[in-house]
Amino acid sequence: LFLLSMPIVLQQLIASSLNMLDTVMIGMVGETELASVGIANQYYFLFSIFIMGISSGCSVFISQLWGKKDKENIRKVLGIGLISGMIITALFTIIALLIPKSIIGIFNKDIEVIRLGSEYLIIVCLSYVFTAISFNFAAASRSIENTVLPMVASLAGLICNGILNYVFIFGKLGFGAMGVKGAAIATLIARIVESIILVAPIYFAKGILAVKFKEIFSITKDLVKSVYTTIIPVMLNEACWGFGNVTYAIIYGRIGTQASAAIQICTTVQNLFMIITFGLANASVVIVGKEIGSGREERGKLYARRLCTVSALVGLALSFILALSAPMVLSLFNVSQAVLNDALLILYIYAVVMTAKVYNVMLIVGVLRGGGDAKFGAMVQGITLWFIGIPLAFVAAFIFKLPVYIVALMTAIEETLKVVVLVKRFISNKWINNVIKDIENESEIAI
């Protein structure tokens, strides 16, 4: 577990540090710039959850196929992920280029926020195609237990982004200060560098994931149907969660620019603390999926129980660390005292529910998904988010007009309720589902 999860944790630490770097550097410019970039990144977040859903759904198949060493179908499943990702990318990029101001205006009505946010979005949306490629190849690499390459690619992207942010945002080395536009250009270049470093070695070495056009065109309808049976629930889960978070962002944005800035800071910090969790969860997809795909279900159950125990302990540790470090972390941001006060209270709330959040991620993103039970995770996520979290936040913000930190507290209630339902499902063992049986039984599809 340690050997498999640590490179994943490091990769996600690097990726989240890239976002943290953007937020901190833009935060040095001002609150309006911070809010505008944060809102523009909500659109990227919406795009990324669709791509993440596709790549994560494919990784369930690839992990189980890896257990049987079925290399040809591994490449074909990756091909399905790439094609699906390009379709989603084209849609999001075209919309961003055509109506950037309308997109930003959904979240905030401040004219300056809309202007700056749309400037950023028009440039950064050009990076989406490279993000889609990186997501799919990184997820597939992790699924075949090659976790080092995605980590190296992410590190290169982080270094590139950090240097270019410094140069373009603040106007160094002879360049004029470009502010949010400079941050967008830096992100675009960093994503290109990351995708090249990730994909080029795979094809130069003619590795397992070096999918060819002829393999993509030889994909059968039955294989696509089998893969999409898993992809769709995963994508719905990610989309449901993503739209929910975007809805939260709209609620916070309508409260005001100060609330939006506070939430942007806290979300960035929380994501940084959740890196270990997502690293463990992604590793558990590979570990559990490989055992189930190989027919070793009892060992898969044993590993799943151990992973859940580890996640609970990690959650407790992260809760204490977040609570203790919150004041120091907030000192990095150049924002008003009012924003800092709100942000500190929100981070304390996040710390209280951290253990429940970590455990839920391990089950939904890791164990259940690795076991082929993505549908149940999507259902629980959707019901608790849309019927508990969002209604409570809406009532708190717009009917009772409570402070932003109370609204954040309302959103945290859903996390605690999910634990009960997910634990019951886990104990029942109904989450075990060998998804590659369909491939094996459908006239030996492409094997």
Count the alpha carbons within 13 Å of 364 in the hemisphere toward its beta carbon.
29
Both tokens assigned to 130: 């490279």
Structure token digits, residue 419: 């634990």
The pLDDT value given to residue 19: 60
Residues near 235 by Cβ (< 8 Å), separated by ≥ 6? 50, 53, 54, 57
Cβ–Cβ < 8 Å for 162, 129? no
Whether 372 has a pLDDT exceeding 50, the answer reads yes
**CA–CA dist 158, 127 (Å, integer):** 15
* Kind plus residue range of the DSSP H or E element containing 57: helix 31-67
User: Which are the contacts of 69, defined by CB distance < 8 A and separation ≥ 6?
Assistant: none
Instruction: Read off the pLDDT band of 221 (50, 70, 90).
Output: confident
> What pLDDT was estimated at residue 442?
47
pTM of this structure: 0.74
Q: CA 322, CA 269: separation in Å to the nearest integer?
A: 9
- Provide, rounded to the nearest whole percent, the portion of the chain with pLDDT above 70: 93
Look at residue 118 in the predicted model and tell me its pLDDT: 94
**How far separated are the first and last CA of the chain, in Å rounded?**
30
pLDDT band at 363 (very low <50, low <70, confident <90, very high): very high
Cα–Cα distances (Å) from 165 to 107, 194, 332, 380, in that order, read 25, 16, 16, 39
Task: Give per-residue pLDDT as tens, 74-118.
Answer: 898 899 999 999 999 999 999 999 999 999 998 878 899 899 999
Distance CA 232, CA 229 (A): 6
> Is the pLDDT score of 120 beyond 60?
yes
- pLDDT at 230 > cutoff 80: no
Pick from 37-41, 65-69, 436-440 the range whose average pLDDT is largest: 37-41
Predicted confidence at residue 378, as pLDDT, reads 80
Q: What is the per-residue DSSP string for 204-263?
A: HTT-TT---HHHHHT--HHHHHHHHHHHHHHHHHHHHHHHHHHHHHHHHHHH-HHHHHHH
- CA–CA distance, 431 with 375 (Å, rounded to integer): 9
pLDDT by residue (tens digit) across 39-52? Answer: 888 888 889 888 98
pLDDT of residue 57: 82
What is the C-alpha separation between 105 and 47, in angstroms, rounded? Answer: 18
What are the pLDDT digits (tens) for 422-439? 999 999 988 888 766 655
Q: What is the pLDDT of residues 243-254, one digit of tens each?
A: 887 788 888 888
Per DSSP, 177 falls in state: P
Q: In this predicted structure, what is the pLDDT of residue 160?
A: 92
Inter-residue contact 31 to 261 (CB < 8 Å): yes
Rounded to 5 degrees, φ, ψ at 131 are -65, -45
Please report the pLDDT score of residue 89 as a whole number. 97
Residue 416, burial from CB neighbour count under 10 angstroms (0-12, 13-18, 19+): middle
pLDDT recorded at residue 443? 38
**pLDDT at residue 440 tops 60:** no
- Residue 154: pLDDT over 90: no
Nearest to 42 by CA among 92, 83, 85: 92
Count Cα atoms within 13 angstroms, Cβ side, for 344.
Answer: 15
pLDDT, averaged across the chain: 85
92, 124 in Cβ contact below 8 A? no
Residue 3's pLDDT is 58
Residue with tokens 């257990």: 67
Give the pLDDT mean for 357-383. Answer: 87
Question: What is the model's pLDDT at position 359?
Answer: 94
What is the predicted pLDDT for the residue at 344? 95
